Amino acid sequence: MLNEGQLLRNEPLAEIQASNAVRVEVLDDPAPLAAALTTRGASVSVADRTLEVVMDGGADLFVMIRDILADTGVGLRSLGAKQATLEDVYLAVEEFTE
């Protein structure tokens, strides 16, 4: 990845796009899930019925989300690792280098 002739990143594409965020799309109101995740120390952003969840540390985020979904009764539509786009990565690196 170059910016004005300066090398910003030189890694395999899979590593560049890797993210520690999990994307959760629910069928119901996401508020109970978001509240429970926040209580357990996760960082949660909500847009409509889609949550982006990030958790530092060794906790298995997928297991935590599964357990909270079972406890709250919130219906799940999809669950998966969020993959950053090249644009996301470039903008983040550019912002960091300014």
For the chain, domain boundaries: 19-97
Higher pLDDT, 91 or 50: 50
92: which 2 tokens? 């983040």
Phi, psi of 92 (to 5 degrees): -65, -40
pTM over 0.85: no
- What does each C-alpha distance from 12 to 58, 80, 90 come to in angstroms? 25, 21, 14
Residue 12 scores a pLDDT above 60: yes
The model's pLDDT over 20-63, given as tens digits with 9 standing for 90+, comes to: 789 999 999 999 999 999 999 999 999 999 999 998 776 689 99
Residue labelled with tokens 């899979």: 14
- Class of the CATH-defined domain 19-97: alpha beta
What is the C-alpha separation between 20 and 24, in angstroms, rounded? 13
The model's pLDDT over 70-87, given as tens digits with 9 standing for 90+, comes to: 999 999 999 988 766 777
